[in-house]
C-alpha cells in the first residue's frame, strides 16, 4: 500500500510551535515510528507552506497512490482550491488534525475541505495520523 502524507502550513514547526497544543515531537521523528509500525506501507511525506504546492502534490499522487492523509493546517478552514483538488482526483483523502479543532477558536470548527474527504480524524495528537493509516488499511 502506497500512502502520501501531506502536511500544510506551519507543520514544519512541529515540536517547536505551540508544544502545549501540538506536542514536542517533530513530524520526521514521528514518521519513523509510523514506518516501523506499518512495514507493509510505503510512506511518502511532503510538507509545504504554499497552497499551490499542496494542490500540485494532490494532483501528482491522486491517481496512483492508495490514499492521501492530509493535514492542510490553516488552509483547512479557507481553501476552496484544495477542496476542488481533492474532488478532482481518484485517490481517497482523509483529513487529519493533531488538535481537536472543535474545542478551539470557532473559526477552526469549519472545514472547507471535509466535504471532499472520505473522513476526518482530529484531536488525538500525532496519533491522528496512525488512526488515518488504520482507516486507509481497513477500506
Residues forming the active site: 22, 97
**69, 79, 97, 133: which one binds ligand DQA (CB under 6 A):** 97
| Beta strand segments in the chain, E | 2-7, 42-47, 67-71, 93-97, 119-122
CB of 1 or CB of 15, closer to ligand DQA: 15
Residues 8 and 48 sit within 8 Å (Cβ to Cβ): yes
**49, 78, 99, 112: which one binds ligand DQA (CB under 6 A):** 99
Does position 108 interact with ligand DQA (CB under 6 A)? The reply is: yes
Q: Near ligand DQA by CB under 6 A, which window of 37-45, 46-54, 72-80, 109-117?
A: 72-80
CB of 76 or CB of 91, closer to ligand DQA: 76
- In terms of C-beta density within 10 A (0-12 exposed, 13-18 middle, 19 or more buried), how is residue 65 classed? buried
What is the spatial distance between Cα 72 and Cα 80, in angstroms, rounded to a whole number?
A: 12
Local structure of 7: helix, strand or coil: strand
Does position 98 interact with ligand DQA (CB under 6 A)? The reply is: yes
Question: What distance, in Å, lies between the first and last C-alpha atoms of the chain?
Answer: 12
Number of residues that bind ligand DQA (CB under 6 A): 10
CB of 65 or CB of 97, closer to ligand DQA: 97
Does position 44 interact with ligand DQA (CB under 6 A)? The reply is: no
**4, 47, 61, 71: which one binds ligand DQA (CB under 6 A):** 71
DSSP-assigned states of every residue in 58-89: HHHHTTTSSEEEEE-GGGGGT-HHHHHHHHHS
Return residues touching ligand DQA (CB under 6 A). Answer: 10, 71, 73-74, 76, 97-99, 101, 108
Amino acid at each position: 500500500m502506497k500512502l502520501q502524507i501531506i502536511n500544510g502550513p506551519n507543520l514544519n514547526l512541529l515540536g517547536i510551535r505551540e508544544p502545549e497544543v501540538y506536542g514536542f515531537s517533530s513530524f520526521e521523528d514521528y514518521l519513523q515510528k509510523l514506518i516501523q509500525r506499518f512495514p507493509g506501507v510505503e510512506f511518502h511525506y511532503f510538507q509545504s507552506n504554499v497552497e499551490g504546492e499542496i494542490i500540485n502534490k494532490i494532483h501528482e499522487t491522486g491517481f496512483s497512490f492508495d490514499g492521501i492523509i492530509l493535514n492542510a493546517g490553516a488552509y483547512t478552514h479557507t481553501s476552496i482550491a484544495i477542496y476542488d483538488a481533492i474532488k478532482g482526483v481518484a485517490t481517497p483523502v482523509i483529513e487529519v488534525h493533531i488538535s481537536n479543532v472543535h474545542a478551539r477558536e470557532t473559526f477552526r470548527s469549519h472545514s472547507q475541505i471535509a466535504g471532499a474527504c472520505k473522513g476526518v480524524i482530529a484531536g488525538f495528537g500525532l496519533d491522528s495520523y496512525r488512526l488515518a493509516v488504520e482507516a486507509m488499511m481497513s477500506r
